[in-house]
Structure 1
């Protein structure tokens, strides 16, 4: 019996440049933060990650980028990342044209059209159940997706692959987009659940506007997933406010028996508590802002002697709280950065997206 190697998809981009060596160096500097870099005997540079492989070759008059991946979405992400960086690094006037797999006009492999099938209120969250096809890739590789939210009554034309590898909107009219957590995903049923926080002061913002009018039959776009991984560990320490609560619920629901989790969740008051089932040994501490409790104070109360060895810290919260917990983890708990996954999902006093990781 012959064992066949997985099919690898490939695409190539030639970037005209007066200084291709400098362009390549900048690509390696930036993309190399998330990918392994090595130089071949022929002088090419290889960048490899879970997405696939890129080969950067100096040629007369420019830089050739050869990308390959086992997964159409992986190849699409490589092409998009490379194009974004090339244009960012001063090549904005250059028309980019990828050849090979995933050509211009083809569907974006990381995009799905989703239909709302149910709407329910859970505390201050609006829980949407969305249904779509072929959702397997959304079950791994990250907890978060980007929802594309057309205005009411708009017949939206969805993006396709552009000539430069980036999403191209046929009518030049992309709808507002916001990042949300997949609280639950059922690949077999083609369903996901997303909790959208209805918080005061954001009426009229794209996410809140959609949430307020959402009903069964509405159609949205979904791209992703993203948001990083949770490193393997026996013990975890979670910090979250309402914006991070759906991610905590998803991670606890999927965590196997034998793991231990200590989670601190800050909400407005007791009405915002939720049941968070898990096979892991989970200790959940609910912090109520109305009583003055804060995530930062909970972190300060934890001394180095209170922590197990080789634990991992995860957090999703407001920017200032994230920064305080980050400093506590580095300066007091002496936690290495590879054991730290903290993100700010919003920033007090600012509307829109503010989704940054410290790792």
Structure 2
């Protein structure tokens, strides 16, 4: 990987917004090049194999390790982005050092990133909307729901660790927001009344949960393929690199 493609940013602030979510604000001149519609897209944080952020110290033949996180908000005038991290500690360094960094970093620290990458937008011409996320995808849902038409109707279902992790959402009045702590996303989603007309679906969560919801939205409810974005952001017990391989295999099986 070419380390010259890295964008260097500085931590402006770090705050614990809920017991299980840390919000980091990053600033850098390179962020002025980001497109105005990058909210809900993603950046890749660059680490050394030991979880450090000084990638310049890596040997020429050693690639930085990438970890993907959502751009929750973008302020082009201030050249700042907000990035939310689920607060968690795992025994595996590879599965958790981005979260470890987020929980310990302070204003003035620096890190290298790549991006932004953009994800598929929702079809806002649909009759109604169904959004689903767990905590890893809550930042993306927060950004995407702000872009819905003001007269939008439908549902947003979010699974969080506990009630203290519930956050305010800037959602249209017609979107019924449901938070769940105990039930699976699939169980909560399938209990809701399916509305009339064409649905536009946005769904992002853990891999196994995503597959259950894909079965429901695509096969049971036959949502049009052009009206659905469904993705896994992680897989339980697997590093991001392992998850990427699993996603590629799943996409091939689905004929994507």
Specify if TM > 0.5. yes
Q: Considering only aligned residues, what root-mean-square deviation do their CA atoms show, in Å?
A: 2.8
User: Displacement, 1:241?
Assistant: 0.7
2:185 counterpart residue number: 295
Q: Give 1 or 2: higher helix fraction.
A: 2
1:346 to 203, 227, 234: 234
**Contact 1:299–1:328 (CA under 8 A) maintained in structure 2:** no
Do the aligned partners of 1:255 and 1:280 also contact (CA within 8 Å) in 2?
Answer: no
CA distance in 1 between counterparts of 2:205 and 2:51 reads 30
Residues of 2 paired with 1:106 and 1:254: CA distance? 34
Contact 1:318 1:346 in 2 (8 A): yes
Contact map agreement 2:46 2:55 (CA 8 A) in 1: no
Give 2:63's match in structure 1, choosing from 158, 174, 193: 174
Distance apart, 1:300 and its partner CA? 2.3
Q: 2:72–2:81: 8 Å Cα contact kept in structure 1?
A: yes
Is 1:128–2:20 an aligned residue pair? no
Cα distance, 1:155 vs. partner? 4.1
Query: Structure 1 residues 174 and 338 mapped into 2: Cα distance closer, same or farther (>3 Å)?
Result: same
Q: Which residue of 2 aligns with 1:258?
A: 151
| Larger Rg computed on CA atoms | 1
Q: What stretches of structure 1 of length at least 5 have no aligned partner?
A: 1-79, 81-104, 159-168
Is 1:222 the counterpart of 2:121? The answer is no
Does 1 or 2 have the higher relative contact order (CA < 8 Å, sep 6+)?
A: 2
Shift of 1:316: 1.0
2: CA distance, partners of 1:138 / 1:206: 28
Superposed displacement of residue 200, structure 1: 4.3
Indicate the residue corresponding to 1:137 in structure 2: 34
Q: TM-score, normalised by structure 1?
A: 0.60
The reply to whether residue 271 of structure 1 matches residue 164 of structure 2 is yes
Whether the 8 Å CA contact 1:319–1:347 is kept in 2: the answer is yes
Aligned-partner Cα distance in 2 for 1:274–1:183: 13
- 2:47 corresponds in structure 1 to 149
Distance 2:22 2:122 in 1: 30
Within 5 Å, give how 1:10-159 maps onto structure 2.
108=5, 111-123=6-18, 124-135=20-31, 136-140=33-37, 143-150=41-48, 155-157=54-56
Of 170, 179, 198, the residue aligned with 1:310 is 198
CA 1:329/1:279 → structure 2, altered by over 3 Å: closer, same or farther?
closer
The count of residues paired between Structure 1 and Structure 2 equals 239
Contact kept, 8 Å, 1:255 with 1:279, in 2: the verdict is yes
Q: Which runs of 5+ in 2 are unaligned?
A: none
Q: TM-score, normalised by structure 2?
A: 0.81
* Counterparts in 2 of 1:261 and 1:200: CA distance versus 1, 3 Å: farther
